[in-house]
Structure 1
Amino acid sequence: MAAKQVLRWGFGALFGAAYLWLGHQAAIANDPPLISLLIGLAPLSTSAVVLAWHSRSVWLQSLCAACLLGMLLNLDFLRSNTAWVYYIQHAGMHTMLGIMFGRTLGKDDATALCARLSSMVYAPPLDAHHLRYARNVTVVWTLYFAGAMVISSLLFFFGPLTLWSVFANLLTPVLIGAIFVVEYLTRRAALPGLKHVSIAHSIRLYREYSERSNKD
C-alpha cells in the first residue's frame, strides 16, 4: 500500500473518529454548540437534497426546500433538542435502509439487493448458489437495520441518554464495519471460485447502486 494511500486512510479514520465523538458529545450535552447541531443535520439533509434533486419532482423539491427553511428558522429550538435530531437521523436512516434491502426479498433470489450488486461485478446470470448466498446476505443486512432501529428506539425512550448515544454514535459504525468484514470472510469460504472484491469496493458498489436508483 502506497504511503499516500496510508496517509489518506489515516486522515479519514481520524476525521471519522472526531466526527463520531463530536456527535456523541452533542447528543448528551444540555447546551451543545451550534456546529454540533449543523453536523448532526448534515447527513440526513444532504441525502434529502440529493434525492429531491435527482427525482426531478417539483413537488418533492419544494417540500425539501420548505423543510430546510423550517430548520434554519428554528435552529435555537433544534439546538435545545439536539439528541432528538441525532435520534431521528439514526433511526430514520436505519429504517430507510432496512426497507430498501427488505423490499427486494419478496420475489426470487435474483431480485435481492445484494444479488443485484453482485451482478454489477460478475457477468450475469449468476449461478443458483451465488444467488442464494447473495439473498442470505440481503436478509442479514435487513435484520441488522431493523434490529438497530428497534434497539436505538428502546434505548432512546427507555434508557439513559448516554447509553443510547454510545450505541448510535460510537458503536453503529463499528457494527457495520464488523458485518462487512464477516461477510467478506464468509464469502471467500462460501464462494471459493470467485475473484473476490474488497470491502472498500463493496461499499463503492452500494453507492453506485444508490445513485442509479435515485436517478431512475
Structure 2
Amino acid sequence: MRLAVLALAGLFYVVMDYLASSSRHPPLYAVVVGAAPLTLGLLTAGWNSRFRWPVMLLAAAVLLSIALNIDQLLTHAAWFYLLQHAGIMCGLGFMFGSTLGSHENALCSRIARIAVAGSLDAAYFHYTWKVTLAWTLYFALSALLSLGLFALAPLSWWAFYAAVCTPLSLGLMFGGEYLVRRLALPDSPSFSIAHTIQSYRKYTQGRDTSQ
C-alpha cells in the first residue's frame, strides 16, 4: 500500500510538473505543485543551517515577493523550471565532481562507508570512484541537454525531458549501478538502492549539521 501511494504521488507530481513546464501560461495549481519539492528542500536546508533565522527571513521575503507578483511567475514559469532543473543538475554535478580527487574521498565512497558496517578495501573504493565519475558525467550531460532542448527545441520537448525522462533516467542509473556492482564486486558487501538513498541522506544531514 505504501509503495502504491508513493507511486501515485510520484505520477501526480510528474503530470503537474509537465503541465506547468510545457505551457506558456500554466495553471497556478500546477506551478505550486511542481515547485513544492524544491521549495521545501531549500527551506529544510536553510532551517538546518547555522544561519537559520536570516535564511528563513530571506526565504519569507522571497516567497512574499513571488506571491505579490504571481502573474509574472505564471508568465515566465518555463524559465523558472529551466533554472530549477538545470540548476539542480549543475549543483549535483559539482557536488559529485568536486570529490574526485581521491578514491577514498569520492562521494560514492563516503556513502558506501555509511551504508556498509565493515571495512572496505582499495578495490571497492576504486569502483565507487568510478561510480562517482559516472554520476558526475550524468548530471553534466543532463544539464547540457536541458539547456540545449530549451534553447533549440519546442517547449513541450524540453518539458517532457525534464518532467518524464529525468526521473526515468535516474531510476535507470540507480538500477544499472546496482546490477553492475553485483557483477563487478560479487564477493564484496552489498546494499540495496533504498539503502543507498538512505545513506546519502545521512551523509547530507551530517554535512548540514557540521557546517
TM-score bin, normalised by smaller chain: over 0.9
SS at structure 2 position matched to 1:87: helix
Query: Which position in structure 2 is the counterpart of 1:3?
Result: none
Query: Which position in structure 1 is the counterpart of 2:72?
Result: 77
CA distance in 1, matches of 2:28, 2:148: 27
**1:31-69 alpha-carbon deviations (Å, 9 max, x no partner):** 322111111221221122112111121443433332222
Q: Determine if contact 1:40/1:85 at 8 Å carries over to the other structure.
A: no
Query: Which position in structure 2 is the counterpart of 1:99?
Result: 94
Residue 30 (structure 1) shift: 3.3
Structure 1 stretches of 5 or more lacking a match?
Answer: 1-6
Q: Pick the aligned partner of 2:61 from 57, 61, 66.
A: 66
1:46 paired to 2:26: no
Query: Which position in structure 2 is the counterpart of 1:138?
Result: 132
CA distance in 2, matches of 1:159, 1:118: 39
Query: Which position in structure 1 is the counterpart of 2:9?
Result: 15
Residue 135 (structure 1) shift: 0.5
CA distance in 1, matches of 2:96, 2:146: 19
CA distance in 2, matches of 1:38, 1:18: 13
Q: Pick the aligned partner of 2:186 from 178, 192, 195.
A: 192
Aligned residue identity for 1:102: G
CA distance in 1, matches of 2:145, 2:99: 23
1:162 paired to 2:156: yes
CA distance in 2, matches of 1:55, 1:184: 32
Count of residue pairs brought into register by the alignment: 209
**1:114-160 alpha-carbon deviations (Å, 9 max, x no partner):** 00011012246421100000000000011101110111011111211
Structure 1 moving runs of 4+ over 4 Å: none
Structure 2 stretches of 5 or more lacking a match?
Answer: none
Residue 202 (structure 1) shift: 1.1
Q: Determine if contact 1:55/1:214 at 8 Å carries over to the other structure.
A: yes
CA distance in 2, matches of 1:70, 1:215: 30
CA distance in 2, matches of 1:103, 1:62: 30
1:56 paired to 2:53: no
Aligned residue identity for 1:70: S
**1:77-135 alpha-carbon deviations (Å, 9 max, x no partner):** 101222112111111111111111111112x2110000001101224642110000000
Using the size of structure 2 for normalisation, the TM-score is 0.93
1:30 paired to 2:24: yes
CA distance in 2, matches of 1:71, 1:41: 12
Q: Determine if contact 1:115/1:131 at 8 Å carries over to the other structure.
A: yes
CA RMSD of aligned residues (A): 1.5
Q: Determine if contact 2:16/2:34 at 8 Å carries over to the other structure.
A: no
